[in-house]
């Protein structure tokens, strides 16, 4: 006895959905919150002198950044880790 095509499709769709849910991994990166020392989720995150400015160092996944202010998709604050100075990073790369 053969299984109807709609039943096979429904079973396939359910299996794909389960795999996607199980394989989704950790939470996606998020925007920083002013006044919060955020953890970097990106593999590397450039610290700049101003938004889209000169590169002055790199924060790596797991290092932290204290968000002091935000402006048009950028966050200003103190970069801990191997940089240890204030600068700008692109917002949206924090855990």
> How do residues 25-82 score in pLDDT, each as one tens digit?
445 679 999 999 999 999 999 999 999 999 999 999 999 999 999 999 999 999 998 8
pTM of whole model > 0.75? no
Residue 69 and residue 6 in contact, taking contact as beta carbons nearer than 8 Å: no
Residue 61 and residue 43 in contact, taking contact as beta carbons nearer than 8 Å: yes
| Predicted pLDDT at 7 | 43
| Predicted pLDDT at 4 | 58
| Predicted pLDDT at 29 | 78
Residues contacting residue 67 through CB under 8 Å, at least 6 positions apart: 32, 33, 34, 35, 36, 37, 38, 75, 76, 77
């Amino acid at each position: 006895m053969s299984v109807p095509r709609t039943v096979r499709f429904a079973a396939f769709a359910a299996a794909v959905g389960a795999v996607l849910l199980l394989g989704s991994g950790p939470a996606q990166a998020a925007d920083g919150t002013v006044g919060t020392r955020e953890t970097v989720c990106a593999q590397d995150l450039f610290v700049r002198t101003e938004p889209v400015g000169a590169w002055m160092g790199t924060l790596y996944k797991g290092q932290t950044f204290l968000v002091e202010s935000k402006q048009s998709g950028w966050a200003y604050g103190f970069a801990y880790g191997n940089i240890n100075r204030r600068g700008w990073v692109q917002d949206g790369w924090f855990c």
